[in-house]
Chain A
Amino acid sequence: AQSVTQLDSQVPVFEEAPVELRCNYSSSVSVYLFWYVQYPNQGLQLLLKYLSGSTLVKGINGFEAEFNKSQTSFHLRKPSVHISDTAEYFCAVSDPGGGADGLTFGKGTHLIIQP
Chain B
Amino acid sequence: GAVVSQHPSWVICKSGTSVKIECRSLDFQATTMFWYRQFPKQSLMLMATSNEGSKATYEQGVEKDKFLINHASLTLSTLTVTSAHPEDSSFYICSASPGGFVFNYGYTFGSGTRLTVV
Q: How far is the CB of A67 from chain B (nearest CB, A)?
A: 15
Contact B42 A46 (CB under 8 A): no
- Cα–Cα distance between A20 and B112 once the two chains are bound (Å): 27
A115 in the interface, Cβ–Cβ < 8 Å? no
CB under 8 Å from chain A, chain B span 1-34: 4, 6, 32, 34
Task: Provide the B94-114 mask, 1 if CB < 8 A to any CB of A, else 0.
Answer: 010101111101111111101
Task: Report if A102-B46 is in contact (Cβ < 8 Å); known contacts: A43-B93, A44-B109.
Answer: yes
Query: With a CB–CB cut-off of 8 A, which chain A residues contact B45?
Result: 105
Map CB proximity to A onto B32-45 as digits: 1 under 8 Å, 0 otherwise. 10101000001111
A7-51 near B? 1/0 per residue, CB < 8 Å:
000000000000000000000000010101000011111100101
For residue B75, CB closer than 8 A to chain A, the reply is: no
Contact B46 A104 (CB under 8 A): yes
Provided the pairs A34-B107, A103-B107, A107-B43 are in contact, do residues A44 and B49 lie with their beta carbons within 8 angstroms? no
Task: Give B112's nearest chain A residue, CB to CB.
Answer: A43
- Which residue of chain B is the closest to A9 with respect to CB atoms? B41
Q: A96 with B114: in contact, given A43-B93, A44-B109, A90-B44 (CB under 8 Å)? A: no
- B 44-84 binary contact with A (CB < 8 Å = 1; else 0): 11100100000000000000000000000000000000000
Which of A32, A45, A108 is close to B102, meaning CB atoms less than 8 Å apart? A32
Number of interface residues of B (CB under 8 A): 29
B6 and A43 contacting across the interface, CB-CB below 8 Å: yes
Q: Closest Cβ of chain A: how far from B113's Cβ, in Å?
A: 10
Say yes or no: A107 contacts B42, CB within 8 Å: yes
Q: Jot down 21 A-B pairs with beta carbons below 8 A, ordered by A.
A: A36-B109, A41-B91, A42-B111, A43-B4, A45-B109, A46-B105, A46-B106, A46-B107, A90-B44, A94-B102, A96-B102, A99-B101, A100-B32, A100-B49, A102-B34, A102-B46, A103-B46, A103-B107, A106-B43, A107-B42, A107-B43
A-side interface residues toward B, CB under 8 Å? 32, 34, 36, 41-46, 49, 51, 90, 94, 96, 98-108
